[in-house]
Amino acid sequence: MFNVTKKSIEWGGETLTLESGKVARQADGSVIATLGETSVMANVTFAKSAKPGQDFFPLTVHYQEKYYAAGKVPGGFFKREARPSEKETLTSRLIDRPCRPLFVPGFKNEVLVMCTVLSHDLVNEPDILAMIAASAALTISGVPFMGPIGAARVGFSNGEYVLNPDVDDMQKLRENPEQRLDLVIAGTKDAVMMVESEAYELSEAEMLGAVKFGHDAMQPVIDLIIDFAEDCAKEPFDFQAPDYSALFAKVKTAGETQMRAAFAIKDKQERTNAISAAVDAIKGALSEEDLADANLGSAIKKLESSILRGDIINGGARIDGRDNKTVRPIVSETGILPRTHGSSLFTRGETQALVVTTLGTGEDEQIIDALHGNSRSNFLLHYNFPPYSVGEVGRVGSPGRREIGHGKLAWRALQAVLPAATDFPYTIRVVSEITESNGSSSMASVCGGSLSMMDAGVPLKAPVAGVAMGLILEDDGKYAVLTDILGDEDHLGDMDFKVAGTENGITSLQMDIKVAGITPAIMEQALAQAKDGRLHILGEMAKALTKAQAFSQYAPKIETMQVPTDKIREVIGSGGKVIREIVEVSGAKVDINDDGIIKIASNNAESIKKAYDMIWSIVAEPEEGRVYTGRVVKLVDFGAFVNFFGKRDGLVHVSQIANKRLNHPNEYLKEGQEVKVKLLGFDDRGKVRLGMKMVDQETGEEISEAKADAEA
């Protein structure tokens, strides 16, 4: 009944297995990939014809994490998987980015790739496995895919590169100073296609070494997929790339001169309008048959590309007149919004980000429900890209994949320089509003985010800047690496290479390739050129921070205290009674975690002190020999009970009340009276012994024995 194909190799200390032929047999390609006890199923289907008039390649990738994979039940009211999580969205992008450029040019049939996590051993990350499974499913499906690709995760610990580190190692990246890198790489046999990374100030040489290490490490996986496909791949789909050379010749004749003049305009809006007019002129010169050709859009894009790329590769100036290494003019401003905790406006050419920082308490931390367990994040970065930023109209809805991806890239770049939570006990939320865009708004968010947090008084280890690099690579081997690319250079170029970091090293690297990979030499030049650009931008940013930034008066003040874990229950009280009383009486917010770290937050310093004192009175132990101020709570024949330390009472024996003989404590004391007492010690049963006669009741100072005898 089943025609099963199964292949395995040992990879990174685990067994990697690919299997097909038993599950989802109606899909064009279906593969279950297993590494350790983590399994991901990838299913590929594709339309056998393109939709009429289709002028783009409609590839859709969905990565889904099923909670049953880790033996969990989803949270929430509905108790089922709902909208994609941030992790699922980002992993879908990871799979899409290296695969998309490898489809045969001109193929415009709809393709769907669905990756489902079936089992998770909480050791091996499923995202790398999903990329491998998708690559294998595409390779055996018959779709015109020029793969396969391999993928790997690379860590960097104690000066050594590590292949596919455990989930726990990557989850605790910020807490482990020895683990300095989380890099995901994908590529073909000969070249790198995609890089995504989070780093802790690695040098350019260390980052390039990680890329090379990862590319070498994925080669056995590519060989496995090829071996696997030889046994079970379907016949290749009969597809012939369309020949639209005749149409392109007509388009070129009709509009090259006007299009070249349009690309010579430096202002983006004027250039966009001129290009649009050139396109209209081209269409006006074509026949009805040519206008109905589905390849017209490709022909026009080819004309645009040839003009832009040809001028640059032949040594000419770029669209806006710059050379290949110059960064556009930069203006950095901070403190532009009066009531926010921190704000900045970062403008680089025609790209601008208004970035705002808000400081919150522990209650504002984000709870992340994932397959490997729940976690909390005290650093949030949200990126918004409204239509007006590019002069367009359009619908505004919930964040899309692009916004989530760009926000995560900026998050990765900045998290490496954040202070430890024990040193700065705030939840930090950064929001980047892109108000203008013409190239690399994510890197503008990095620069603006760094400035905004410093304006809010966040003690960053160092400021961070980011720059986007581009590439023009021709068939004859000629190439040009471009610093600080424009939107058109990104759209018509071959690489989007974003590098962010401090003066000391790289904190994030993201690379996407639109051609069949780049060589190490090109990447090395891009990293070196990016470093020069980054250092220049950091110098421009420094002009906005010429004086120490004051902590906002509108931000909550937080004080942290550590209590023994065995005292946590006493602070919380039965049903939360005690901690609610502390909050109500003091007016401060109180947050306590399982490690006994308590954060007390308020805009009022007195509220913080009151809450601190109330908690301290619960958890602290009284010290023998110390003088305390207490209150008489009960008088008995043999002495007085005094409440002297939180809710703790102690006995002042009648002989210890005064330096004279008393028949009854009421001769000297009354209930409710405030007194100064010294802790004399504890009896055999642990009960407190207090004394008054050796303490001056006015000053609280101890009285010497000689003075006490004289007074007696």
Q: What is the CATH number of the domain that holds 164?
A: 3.30.230.70
pLDDT of residue 173: 65
pLDDT of residue 682: 84
- Considering the domain architecture, whether residues 174 and 258 belong to the same structural domain is answered as no
What is the Cα–Cα distance from 462 to 414, expressed in whole angstroms?
10
* In the chain, % of residues over pLDDT 90: 54
Residue 325 in any domain: the answer is: no
Residue 86 in any domain: the answer is: yes
pLDDT of residue 24: 95
pLDDT of residue 547: 63
- Considering the domain architecture, whether residues 178 and 159 belong to the same structural domain is answered as yes
Residue 588 sits in a domain of what CATH number? 3.30.1370.10
Residue 512 in any domain: the answer is: no
- Considering the domain architecture, whether residues 394 and 469 belong to the same structural domain is answered as yes
Is the predicted pLDDT of residue 477 greater than 80, yes or no? no
Mean pLDDT of 3-22: 95
Is the predicted pLDDT of residue 376 greater than 90, yes or no? no
- Considering the domain architecture, whether residues 467 and 356 belong to the same structural domain is answered as yes
Confidence of residue 221 (pLDDT cuts 50, 70, 90): very high
Q: Which residues are CB-neighbours of 445 under 8 A, at least 6 positions away?
A: 353, 355, 381, 383, 406, 407, 410, 432, 434
- Considering the domain architecture, whether residues 255 and 217 belong to the same structural domain is answered as no
Query: Rounded to the nearest 5 degrees, what angle is found at the Cα of 197, between the Cα atoms of 191 and 198?
Result: 165
Instruction: Give exposure, 528-545, as e/b (b: 16+ Cβ within 10 Å).
Output: ebbbebbebbbebbeebb
Question: Cβ distance 14 to 165 under 8 Å?
Answer: no
Is the predicted pLDDT of residue 706 greater than 70, yes or no? no
Is the predicted pLDDT of residue 267 greater than 90, yes or no? no
- Quick: pLDDT tens for 300-319: 988 888 888 877 877 767 88
Residue 100 in any domain: the answer is: yes
Domain end: 603, 619, 635, which one?
619
What is the Cα–Cα distance from 117 to 33, expressed in whole angstroms?
10
Number of domains in the chain: 5
- Considering the domain architecture, whether residues 286 and 210 belong to the same structural domain is answered as no
Question: Comparing 414 with 559, which gets the higher pLDDT?
Answer: 414
**Other CB atoms within 10 Å distance of the CB of residue 78:** 8
Q: Please give the mean pLDDT across all residues of the chain.
A: 89
Residue 487 in any domain: the answer is: no
> Which of these ranges, 136-150, 196-210, 464-478, has the smallest mean pLDDT?
464-478
- Quick: pLDDT tens for 224-239: 999 999 999 999 999 8
- Considering the domain architecture, whether residues 80 and 164 belong to the same structural domain is answered as yes
pLDDT of residue 79: 86
* pTM score of the predicted model: 0.85
Look up the domain containing 571 and give its range: 557-619
Confidence of residue 709 (pLDDT cuts 50, 70, 90): low
- Considering the domain architecture, whether residues 615 and 637 belong to the same structural domain is answered as no
Domain end: 542, 573, 598, which one?
542
- Considering the domain architecture, whether residues 586 and 464 belong to the same structural domain is answered as no
Confidence of residue 381 (pLDDT cuts 50, 70, 90): very high
Confidence of residue 172 (pLDDT cuts 50, 70, 90): low
For 532-546, what is the HEC assignment? HHHHHHHHHHHCCCC
Question: Cβ distance 457 to 552 under 8 Å?
Answer: yes
- Considering the domain architecture, whether residues 148 and 20 belong to the same structural domain is answered as yes
**Structure tokens belonging to residue 566:** 């065995």
> Which of these ranges, 7-11, 474-478, 624-628, has the smallest mean pLDDT?
474-478
Mean pLDDT of 162-187: 82
Contacts 24+ apart (CB under 8 A), 341-345: 341/456, 341/457, 341/552, 341/554, 341/555, 342/452, 342/453, 342/454, 342/455, 342/456, 342/457, 342/458, 342/549, 342/552, 343/452, 343/455, 344/448, 344/449, 344/451, 344/452, 344/455, 344/544, 345/448
> Which of these ranges, 206-215, 329-338, 364-373, has the smallest mean pLDDT?
364-373
- Considering the domain architecture, whether residues 142 and 262 belong to the same structural domain is answered as no
pLDDT of residue 220: 97
pLDDT of residue 546: 67
Residue 480 in any domain: the answer is: no
- Considering the domain architecture, whether residues 12 and 29 belong to the same structural domain is answered as yes
Confidence of residue 394 (pLDDT cuts 50, 70, 90): confident
Say which amino acid occupies 355.
Answer: V
* In the chain, % of residues over pLDDT 70: 96
Residue 223 in any domain: the answer is: yes
Residue 707 sits in a domain of what CATH number? 2.40.50.140
Mean pLDDT of 401-407: 93
pLDDT of residue 36: 94
- Quick: pLDDT tens for 482-517: 999 988 888 777 888 899 999 999 999 999 887 765
Residue 261 sits in a domain of what CATH number? 1.10.10
Q: Does residue 575 come out as left (phi exceeding 0), alpha (psi in the -120 to 50 range) or beta?
A: left
Residue 613 in any domain: the answer is: yes
